[in-house]
Structure 1
Amino acid sequence: MMNFIESELLRIFVGEQAKLHHRPLYELLVSEALERGMAGATVFRGLLSFGLRHKVHTSKIFELAGELPMVIEILDITEKIEEFLPVVETLLRDAGAQALVTREAVRQWTT
């Protein structure tokens, strides 16, 4: 029988060049999530995107500057996501990174 836990998905979009202390920001976010015992985290690299400036970024070979989005998804119950948000805010601020942070309700299936 499958059961579900009401959870949240925290999604953070940052540029792949965003760094803090010479480490990619997406690595730091995942490390912090792991250290705090979050249920799970995954990072995706965008292949094609545009944002506020409407400049298209692509993974094609001719684009030398790595400006593709990195999408970090972190899953846990709402309370743990709430506790993790100040960590995200601090890392983004300290890195001086532009970011988009979203949250959505999800169901975490268990058996």
Structure 2
Amino acid sequence: MIDMRGEGSLLAVVALGGGIGALARYGIAHAMPTREIPWATLITNVIGCLLIGILMVLITEVWTAHRLLRPFLGVGVLGGFTTFSTYAVEVRGLLASGNYPIAFGYLFGTVIAALAAVLVGCGAHGSSPVPSPGKESDMSYSRTEMRLSIILGQDDLWHHKPKYQEIVKRARAAGLSGASVWRGVEGYGASAHIHTTRLLDLADGLPLLVVAVDTEERIRGFLDGIGELLTEATVTLEGVERVHFTEDRP
């Protein structure tokens, strides 16, 4: 029998996504029948590449995505939506009919437009703001504090909810000055199996890093109260010096 929690679930979501993507492509092709220039296929592939670029940014930098989300959206929906085979057949048809300018324009134009769309999609998340020139800042040091670092898997659960969410929730309730969760893009643990954010992989078990900084007393007190959440985690404590920056006012 197929393990629906492993390869079976992967095949199921890819098949479902592929069907959805193919139906969307059919809708565009039906709305834009091919004439001299196959606009429907060109537009479909460019839109698909744009969405792939956006998706890769979201799943690697913004979301902590479910392990099946990328195969469903990337391989399934967008894989079924875009089409290389139709593109190749249309280029061959244009060449066979002797329409060489359009054939070569379509051949190379699709590649250029698709790559440009991916770059636009990858840059759609925005960039960091540029600081205003001419402003200085004051820097001050606080007393030495302690940094708590917790490494755990994104699929580790506590009462059917992600453990990292429970840790952050408890950190806030404990009055810690702040807690952040950072997502790893690749790594391995005791199983020696490499987990990665690459589009074609399941991305299960990716590492997460939860970081909190506060006084040693607060950090140790907080750590004592969350022991049940850390049975499979790696925990480190380090002394750090907090630096404060304040902007000079004219």
**TM-score, scaled relative to structure 2:** 0.41
CA root-mean-square deviation = 1.5
Counterparts of 1:88 and 1:49, CA distance in 2 = 25
Asked if residue 80 in structure 1 is aligned to residue 218 in structure 2, the reply is yes
Equivalence for 2:189: 51
Alpha-carbon distance between aligned partners in 1 of 2:142 and 2:182, rounded to the nearest angstrom: 25
Give the fraction of aligned pairs with identical amino acids, expressed as a percent.
Answer: 33
Larger Rg: 2
CA contact (8 A) 1:5 1:109 kept: no
| Structure 1 runs (4+) greater than 6 angstroms displaced | none
CA contact (8 A) 2:149 2:211 kept: yes
Higher fraction of helix: 2
Distance, in Å, in 2 between the alignment partners of 1:3 and 1:84 is 24
Contact 1:57 1:67 (C-alpha < 8 Å) held by counterparts: yes
Q: Deviations over 1:83-104 (max 9, x none)?
A: 01122212234xxxx1100011
With over 3 angstroms needed to count, the CA separation of the structure-2 counterparts of 1:65 and 1:2, relative to structure 1, is closer
**Contact persistence 1:12–1:73 (CA under 8 A):** yes
Give the corresponding residue for 2:238: 104
Greater relative contact order (Cα < 8 A, sep 6+): 1
Number of residue pairs matched?
107
Query: Is contact 2:176-2:218 (8 Å) kept?
Result: yes
Secondary structure of the residue that 1:12 maps to in structure 2?
A: strand
- 1:65 CA drift (Å): 4.7
State how 1:1-111 maps to structure 2 within 5 Å. 2-93=140-231, 98-110=232-244
Structure 1 position 50, deviation (Å): 1.6
Q: Output the amino acid matched with 1:69.
A: P
State the distance in 1 between where 2:203 and 2:187 align.
14
TM-score by length of 1: 0.88
What are the ranges of 5 or more consecutive residues in structure 1 without an aligned counterpart? none
In 1, Cα distance between equivalents of 2:178 and 2:157: 22
Separation in structure 2 between the aligned mates of residue 50 and residue 66 of structure 1, nearest angstrom: 11
Give the counterpart letter for 1:32 in structure 2: R
